[in-house]
């Protein structure tokens, strides 16, 4: 397919990274296959995660087609960009359509990006994840590659003001060992293994982060920060969902 929008967007992002002197570290980029389909499964801590998760595949010369909620595609600014980059809209009322589109892309040799937690983690830990990524990888017979992001929450996350021009922010992007689930596997057990690997990758990134002050909002509670605990975050998510339901 023609790539008119994606390459300029990547170039613009890299220019911005340089201007802001972001300290971006990518570990394990060689684990992204240079050809063929793959499901890239990332944690989710920022509204900008698709940019940085996609950056992990850049050394392999791959463009990642991210699955994102339909509302992003409906926006007058982000919508044309998302469609131009051939990302995949997800309408939660009609999930089968998004699954089918992702499967088609995978079988065509594309890398599809998935945020398995579905929503941003306010606690900056790994939330419960569903087995959709596993089912996609099995149906397309492609590897599933876990990836953790850390530092992106400092730029723009849920419940916090945007700080897009903040300079010198370290960003850690860590690619884990590919997983190859097969038909007949216990999908829930494989999903549990995926979550465990995401937790280990994220914990490694958090503990090796170059700036770890005590008591900051963007640090998880168990590492001395003031982010909500997973239980508090779950209660906040439930309250938000209830408010949305009531309109």
Average pLDDT (123-130) is 96
pLDDT tens digits, 69-82: 999 999 999 999 99
Q: How confident is the model at residue 15 (pLDDT cuts 50, 70, 90)?
A: very high
Domain assignment present for residue 186? The answer is: yes
Q: What is the CATH number of the domain that holds 189?
A: 3.40.1130.10
Q: What is the mean pLDDT of the chain?
A: 96
Q: Per mean pLDDT, which range of 112-121, 207-216, 230-239 is the poorest?
A: 207-216
pTM score, whole prediction:
0.96
Output the pLDDT for position 242: 94
Q: Which domain holds residue 201?
A: 6-246
Output the pLDDT for position 95: 74
Q: How confident is the model at residue 66 (pLDDT cuts 50, 70, 90)?
A: very high
Write down the residue that tokens 């990332």 correspond to. 42
Token pair in block for residue 190: 């494989």
pLDDT exceeds 80 at position 187: yes
pLDDT exceeds 90 at position 94: no
pLDDT tens digits, 205-225: 999 999 788 899 999 999 999
Output the pLDDT for position 2: 81
Domain assignment present for residue 1? The answer is: no
> Which residue, 163, 167, 145, is CA-closest to 153?
163
Domain assignment present for residue 41? The answer is: yes
DSSP H helices, 37-152, are: 49-56, 70-74, 78-84, 95-107, 132-140
Domain count, the chain: 1
Write down the residue that tokens 């170039």 correspond to. 11
- What are the angstrom distances between the C-alpha of 213 and each of 122, 181, 185? 19, 39, 43
């Amino acid at each position: 397919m023609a790539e008119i929008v994606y390459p300029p967007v990547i170039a613009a992002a890299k220019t911005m990274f340089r201007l802001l002197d972001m300290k971006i570290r990518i570990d394990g980029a060689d684990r992204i296959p240079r050809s063929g389909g793959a499901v890239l499964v990332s944690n989710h801590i920022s509204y900008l995660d698709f940019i940085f998760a996609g950056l992990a595949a850049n050394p392999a010369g791959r463009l990642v087609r991210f699955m994102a909620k339909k509302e992003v595609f409906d926006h007058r600014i982000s919508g044309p960009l998302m469609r131009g980059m051939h990302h995949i809209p997800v309408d939660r009322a009609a999930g089968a359509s998004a699954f089918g589109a992702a499967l088609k892309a995978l079988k065509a040799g594309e890398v599809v990006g998935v945020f398995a937690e579905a929503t941003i983690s306010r606690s900056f830990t790994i939330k419960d994840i569903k087995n959709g990524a596993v089912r996609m990888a099995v149906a397309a017979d492609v590897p599933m590659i876990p990836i953790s992001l850390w530092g992106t929450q400092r730029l723009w996350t849920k419940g916090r003001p945007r700080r897009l021009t903040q300079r010198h922010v370290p960003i850690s992007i860590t690619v884990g060992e590919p997983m190859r689930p097969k038909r007949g596997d216990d999908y829930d057990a494989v999903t549990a293994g995926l979550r465990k690997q995401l937790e280990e990758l994220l914990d490694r990134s958090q503990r090796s982060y170059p700036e770890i002050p005590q008591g900051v909002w963007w640090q998880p509670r168990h590492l001395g920060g003031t982010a909500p605990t997973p239980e508090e975050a779950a209660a906040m998510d439930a309250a938000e969902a209830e408010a949305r339901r009531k309109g």
